[in-house]
Each structure stands twice: as C-alpha cells, then as structure tokens.
Chains A and B, each alone.
Chain A
C-alpha cells in the first residue's frame, strides 16, 4: 500500500477539510487512480460526498494497493486541517501514507522559507566582541528554511468495511436552482435561527430551529421560519434555474419532457408571490449553518429540491482546467412537517 502526493493547492485543500470538519470529525477518504473522494457521514445531520479531481489538490500523485490501487482511510479532520494550516505559507508540501510503531499515519512534510527580519532586530543582550561576526549573523541568515513534519494518525479501512457505504438515492428533483451567494444566504439563515432561539428562550415551546426552504422554477428561493410568535420569510428572485442536459436525464428528451421540473415550470411566477409551484423542504437551522461553511470554497452551488422529501446541494469547485469538475454533494437532512 503506497500513497504519496505533493499538494499543489494547499488553500483549497485546507478550505475543503475545514468545511467538511464542521459537519463531522471523521472523513472516509478514498484514494484511487482517477479521483479522491471525501465522505462525511455524521450520526445525524447532513452527509457530504465529495468527488475531487486529483489535480484539484494534488500533483505528482501515486497510489498503489493490492485492492485495485484503491486506498480507503478514515481520517480525523481536525488534525488534518490543523496540519494543513501549518502549510499555508509553505514553499512545498508533500503528503504520504506511512507507518510508525504499527500505527498508520498520514505524514505531511512541509518546507517553508521565511525571509525573516527577526535577525535584523538588535539583540540588546548580545555581547560579541567581534563586530564583524555579528554583522554576518545579522545578514547572512536572511532566509530560514524550516521543515515541518505533521503526523496525522489514520485508520486504514478494508474494502469490506466500505463496501456497505452507499451514496443516498433520491428521486428526480422537482426544482433545481442556483443559490445566491452563500454569505448572503448564511447571514439570513443565521439570523433566522437566532430569532427562533430567542423565541425559545422567552418560554415558548419550540427549541427546534426549523427553517423552511422553498424554490420554484422561475428563479425564486424562499427561506422562512415560523414559530408561535412570528413568521418571517426572505425571498430571492431572478436566480437561475439551469437547463437540464438531456444526455444526463434518464430517458433523454422524453425523460426531460416528463421530468418533474418541467411540470413545475408550468406553475408559479417569477416574482415569488404565487402560492403555487414551490418545492419545499424543512431543514434544521444549526445544521444548515454547518453546511454553509462550504461557502469558503467559493464554488457554484446548485440546490435540488424534492418537494417534502429532500434537499441536495451540488457544490462545483472552481477549476482552471476544462474537463471533469470536482463536486461536493451535500445531502441536507430534512424533516417532515
């Protein structure tokens, strides 16, 4: 079993692990020849299935194993994130799978060069008789190269262990819509969640922070919260409902014509005032706050609403190269009314 890669996009990698870490402490990482998968399945709350193209984060990537060159690892995300953060200013960073005292580790080797001005600081207590030597010390060691090794304990998962893990299956969505900038969405949802909690503190019954999310096929997204004391909602309009690609819909053109979203297009209006045409799900405000953490990656987000059933977010990471994209799929946990 061998895994070795140099990290080419440390910022993306760090943001990725930080976002995932807000949903769960452990990730199942599947390394294969074609792609790198990160999966978070928390005991409750939103699941993430992320499929990354290798070049999104890695460079000179080797993975070898007896099980078809696939390595499955369980990785503690807090440690991984912490380790990656120490590489943010690195000149190079390498990651490899290794073993120490029979404990499997992901070893991160980071080379940093600091052109420091500390040495130029007058060190008042230094009493060198030789002034020239002092001078050399001051200016000779301008560039400090430091090698940092971070060892993250991991667990190697046998193919049998992960064979039973499947991505959730959902029916075709009723509405798919491009979300507004997540920072905007997050601040509204955070506010709503707080309001729900304020209501709860003042003695009303609801300690739950259920948000209602709804969208239609006319570019509208609605987020609302109802408690005993209040009912508030925010509506976004003029969002984009991306066109479905017939080649990706089962049944091709016929399938597309019968697709739930085609039917939903007949209903509702673009100003968001119509009662009709909304696909609605109820989600937990706190959990949603954790999902929104993915905004730091700055990708396009398409939300797929299955009315009263499920909400799925597809986060497409920005990439320089054409071809396959890296996608994070969030299966947002939702509630019935």
Chain B
C-alpha cells in the first residue's frame, strides 16, 4: 500500500503541462517514479536514443508532498507508467491564469489509490477551480519498473551553457523536416549549430531536399563554452528543438555536457525545484574530433546503437562517484526488462516547433496570414459571418448573441455556426 498525495499551485500545474508536452515529443508514455522527497517523470523514445528525466523536488515544487512507498524503506519508490495524452487531457494548458479565466484552477490535488481493499487502482487528479467547481479525473496506470540512463558528468569534459531564449532564436532558423544537428566547436571563436538531413537524392529529387542551416554563434555569447576545438557532435534536431522549447518555457539556461561522438550527451536545465535532464545518443566520427572536418562525419545513427546504459535507479545515487563512462553497448536482453505497453512507444513526431494550439496569442506563424489562399478543404471550415476581425469595417457584420433554437433544421447547423439565427439567413435556401 502506497501513500502518494501532493498538491500543486496553478503555476506548478501549468509547468507539468509544459513538461508533458515536451515529453510527448519523445514517446507516448511517461514513467513516474515517486520517492519520499522527489517525484520524477521519465521518458524514453522508441529508438532508445533519447532519455528524459524531469525531477520535481518534493519540498520546493509542491505546496504539499507526501510519499510513503509500500516497501524499500527510505529508498523505496512507487513507479508506474501512463499515457502522456491521458495526462495532458487533465493537465491542460492555461491551468494557470492570473485573471482566472476559463480553465484556470486554484490548486491541483493528486493522490494515488493503490490499496488492496479497493477494487481499482487509480491515479486521481482533482482540479479545484473557481466558484468551488472540482473536477476529478481518475486515470489508470500500469505498474512498471522504471529504469534510468546513467550519465557521468566527470567524463563529459565538453560543456557549454546558454540562455534558452537565445537558443530558441537559433532553432527558429532551422528548416522544417531536417533530421540531424551537428554542433561544432570551431577554432575561430565560433560555435556552429548545423541542421541538415542525410539523404542521397539525385535529379529532380534534389530540389525536395530540406534546407541546410548553419547558425554560427560567437562562443563569447555563451555563458560558458568549454569544448575541444574542432569537435563535431551530432544529435537529432527534433530532440534538440523539443528540449530548447521546453527550457524556454522556464526561461533558464540550458547546459550541455558531452565527451566524444558516439558517447552520450546530456542537456540539463531547471529552476524552482524542477530539474530536467535529457540524455541523448550522439553520432559522428570519434576519431575526427581533433581534425578539422568541415562536413560532418559519416553517420552511425543506428536504431540499435543507443549508448545510454540503463540501470535500475537504485544505483543512480552513485553516478557521480562512478569514474568511467558506461560500456558502449547494452545487451539487448537487458532492455526487455523494461515493461512497456505493446505499441505504445511509437515514436511520435509532432512538429517540434508547433505552437501551442491552445495559446491565446495569435502566433507569428508563417502559415497563417491573411494573404494566404484559403484552405477550403478543412473540415471545420464554415461560413464566417463575423467579418469584423480581419477587415476592419469594410463589411457589415452580423452578430447575434441569442441562442439558436435547436429544433430548426438540423442540417443547416452543420454548415453554419450557431452565431446566426436561422431566420436571418432565410432566403438563401
């Protein structure tokens, strides 16, 4: 029997939303590990090339946190796995709204019901909203054994750190659909982030090749830059974008730690009791580290080649004491110890730079532009009677706040939004 109860402020609940959005870019499920003094979300992508651990400090992140694992004493833990989509439907965006508009909450209470005398095990989230409305969500979870990727920072001599806001600017330059990111420490006082795609194409196909974008940054613009000159290290640009976007929601500095290509790289950032660590597989030619190669080394970005060693988390406490990097490969049998939902680890690939669909702000999204040709095929496109928004007062505007009586022709409701009295549009049919 486990006791796990915690309470979140609206700000913290909205941070949970942000981190779930980020983790959703790595996998479909998130593993939860609750300990007496901290709570960790972890995710591993389907190719096992990226591992994320986001740790919430029991005392700092929560207004109240209580976790008494059923066994294991002070080192005991409660672990389970859940669908990110299910959690996101509870931790929606805009939970935190200083103006208390729709969707805003006063606090969020979470408890786990996992007792022998109860028929169902549930992860229960109570959203306490304004005017005394309480929304209770009971989510199912799966008991799993949570593993952690180990990363030894002592060996990772190459480090840099930069404010996430600046990083965010750089990733906006990257073309869509690129796959790889080569991080180069140049010898001319510049670091280069180059997004590209490894694809062999010829003839006409060449024009479909995504943009190759190189962003050269003065190393003096980094808060810290301590990388062997000439070193190339290659990671997935999608992962990088997801991490930068999330770090930018916290407005913190993003720190990178790595040693050599083919060895893991870790990004780390955090504030206010939230610590985010992403351990990523890297590729590149580890022999070429010292030589200057303007073009990236041949790819070894294989699906199998995860260099991140996984161990049961009981041993993670020791990681700072370990002096060696984990051995480069991991026996395949080992991975099967991690129980997973069949098929649930499909590599979900939402557009990394996609904007929050619920955002109140009209984004500077390039696609949305009044000069763009309309997409008439969109299913939800309906007649837009309110012409006032875009066109000033050029056109007269119908507005009707009255409720539409549903008894009138159902068919017409499909085509017209209920801002219009049917009586007003008689004559069209």
Residues of A whose CB lies within 8 Å of any CB of B are 18-19, 22, 26, 74-76, 79, 82-83, 85-86, 101, 103, 114, 116, 118-119, 121, 123-126, 137, 141, 144-155, 183-184, 186-187, 190-191, 193-195, 197-198, 201-202, 209, 229-230, 286, 289-290, 292-293, 295-296
Is B228 in the interface zone, CB < 8 Å from A?
Answer: no
Interface string of B203-230 (1 = CB under 8 A from A): 0101111111111111011010000000
* A206→B206 CA distance, assembly (Å): 39
From the candidates B176, B204, B211, name the one contacting A151 in the complex (CB within 8 A).
B211
Q: List 16 A-B contacts (CB under 8 A).
A: A76-B208, A79-B175, A82-B176, A118-B163, A123-B253, A125-B252, A125-B269, A137-B223, A149-B216, A150-B213, A183-B370, A190-B374, A194-B376, A195-B383, A290-B373, A292-B371
Determine if A116 and B166 form an interchain contact, defined as CB atoms under 8 angstroms apart.
yes
From the candidates A18, A74, A144, name the one contacting B217 in the complex (CB within 8 A).
A144
Residues of B whose CB lies within 8 Å of any CB of A are 163-166, 169-170, 172-173, 175-176, 190, 204, 206-218, 220-221, 223, 251-253, 269-272, 295, 366, 369-374, 376, 381, 383-384, 387, 390-391, 394-395, 411, 415, 428-429
* A212→B91 CA distance, assembly (Å): 51
| Chain A residues, Cβ within 8 Å of B374 | 190, 193-194, 289
| Chain A residues, Cβ within 8 Å of B415 | 198, 201-202
Determine if A26 and B175 form an interchain contact, defined as CB atoms under 8 angstroms apart.
no
* A137→B215 CA distance, assembly (Å): 22
Determine if B370 and A230 form an interchain contact, defined as CB atoms under 8 angstroms apart.
no
Q: Given A82-B211, A121-B165, A151-B212, decide whether A296 and B369 contact each other with a Cβ distance below 8 A.
A: yes
| Chain B residues, Cβ within 8 Å of A85 | 366
Determine if B220 and A86 form an interchain contact, defined as CB atoms under 8 angstroms apart.
no
From the candidates A86, A121, A151, name the one contacting B173 in the complex (CB within 8 A).
A86
Determine if A194 and B383 form an interchain contact, defined as CB atoms under 8 angstroms apart.
yes
Determine if A194 and B373 form an interchain contact, defined as CB atoms under 8 angstroms apart.
no
Determine if A148 and B213 form an interchain contact, defined as CB atoms under 8 angstroms apart.
yes
Q: Given A146-B170, A202-B411, A293-B371, decide whether A187 and B213 contact each other with a Cβ distance below 8 A.
A: no
| Chain A residues, Cβ within 8 Å of B163 | 116, 118-119, 121, 123
Top 7 A-B residue pairs of the complex, sorted by shortest distance between their CB atoms: A118-B163, A289-B373, A118-B165, A151-B212, A296-B371, A147-B216, A290-B373
Determine if A153 and B221 form an interchain contact, defined as CB atoms under 8 angstroms apart.
no
From the candidates A144, A148, A293, name the one contacting B372 in the complex (CB within 8 A).
A293
Q: Given A22-B373, A116-B166, decide whether A183 and B391 contact each other with a Cβ distance below 8 A.
A: yes
| Chain A residues, Cβ within 8 Å of B206 | 103, 153, 155
Q: Given A148-B216, A202-B415, decide whether A86 and B172 contact each other with a Cβ distance below 8 A.
A: yes
| Chain B residues, Cβ within 8 Å of A101 | 295
| Chain A residues, Cβ within 8 Å of B373 | 22, 286, 289-290, 292-293
| Chain B residues, Cβ within 8 Å of A148 | 173, 213-216
* A229→B190 CA distance, assembly (Å): 66
Determine if B211 and A124 form an interchain contact, defined as CB atoms under 8 angstroms apart.
no
Q: Given A137-B223, A144-B218, A183-B391, decide whether A116 and B370 contact each other with a Cβ distance below 8 A.
A: no
Q: Given A289-B373, A292-B373, A296-B371, decide whether A124 and B252 contact each other with a Cβ distance below 8 A.
A: yes
* A201→B381 CA distance, assembly (Å): 12
Determine if B207 and A74 form an interchain contact, defined as CB atoms under 8 angstroms apart.
yes
* A194→B381 CA distance, assembly (Å): 9
| Chain B residues, Cβ within 8 Å of A209 | 376
Smallest CB-CB separation from B383: which chain A residue?
A194
From the candidates A121, A126, A183, A292, name the one contacting B251 in the complex (CB within 8 A).
A121
Smallest CB-CB separation from B411: which chain A residue?
A202
A293 to chain B, nearest CB (A): 5
| Chain B residues, Cβ within 8 Å of A126 | 223, 253
B108 to chain A, nearest CB (A): 24
* A209→B381 CA distance, assembly (Å): 16
| Chain B residues, Cβ within 8 Å of A202 | 411, 415
| Chain B residues, Cβ within 8 Å of A82 | 175-176, 211
Q: Given A144-B217, A148-B214, decide whether A125 and B270 contact each other with a Cβ distance below 8 A.
A: yes
